[in-house]
Amino acid sequence: MAAAKKPAAKPAAKPAAKPAAKKPAAKAPAAKKPAAKAAAKPAAKKPAAKAPAAKKPAAKAAVKPAAKKPAAAKKPAAKRAPSAAFMKPMTPSSILAAVVGAMPLPRTEVTKKVWDYIKKHSLQDAVNRRMINADANLRAIFGKAQVSMFEMTKLISNQLK
C-alpha cells in the first residue's frame, strides 16, 4: 500500500512543476504546447497561463503603440503641401475688388480678406454665427441680404477670374 501512495505523490508533484516551467515559455510557443498535452490537464494549464498572459501583453501593448505613434505622425507632415490650384493668383472682379483689392491673389488669401472685412464691419449674425449679413459691398457679390459661410466661398469663387 505504501508503494501505491508514492506513485500518486509523484504525478502530483510533476503537474506543479510543469505549469511553473510553462509560464516563461508560454509567450512564444503557446499554441504548440496546449495542442500536445491538451487532454492531460487543460484545467491546470488555462488558469496558470491566463494570469501572466493578461498582465504581460497589456504592458507590451502600451509600449508598442508609443513606438508606432511617432512614425505615423511623420507621414501627415509630409502630405501638407498646398495644392497649386489654391495658390494660383486669381484676379478679382471689380465688385470683389472693392472688398479685397484689385491685385491678383490666391483663393485662400481672398477668403481671408473677405473674413477680415466681415469681422471688421461686424457682419456675422449675432444669433446664428454661420450666417453673414451683407452690407452694400457684399450684397453686390452675394446677390442677397444674408448667406451662410459655406455658401459664401462659392459666391466669391464666381467673382474670380
Q: pLDDT, tens digit, for every residue of 3-26? A: 556 555 555 555 555 555 555 555
Count H helices, E strands: the chain?
A: 8, 2
Domains annotated for the chain, with CATH where assigned, are: 105-161 (1.10.245.10)
Q: Which pLDDT tens digit goes with each residue over 136-150?
A: 999 999 999 999 999
**Structural contact between residues 153 and 135, judged by C-beta atoms closer than 8 angstroms:** no
Q: Which residue has the higher pLDDT, 122 or 71?
A: 122
Q: How far is residue 114's CA from residue 112's CA, in Å, rounded to a whole number?
A: 5
Q: Per-residue pLDDT averaged across 88-99, rounded?
A: 93
Which of 31-35, 78-82, 116-120 is predicted most confidently?
116-120
76 pLDDT exceeds 90? no
What is the residue-averaged pLDDT of the chain?
74
Q: Which residues contact 132 (CB under 8 A, 6 or more apart)?
A: 118, 123, 124, 125, 138, 142, 146, 147, 148, 149, 152
88 pLDDT exceeds 70? yes
pTM as predicted? 0.49
**Amino acid in the structure at residue 137:** N
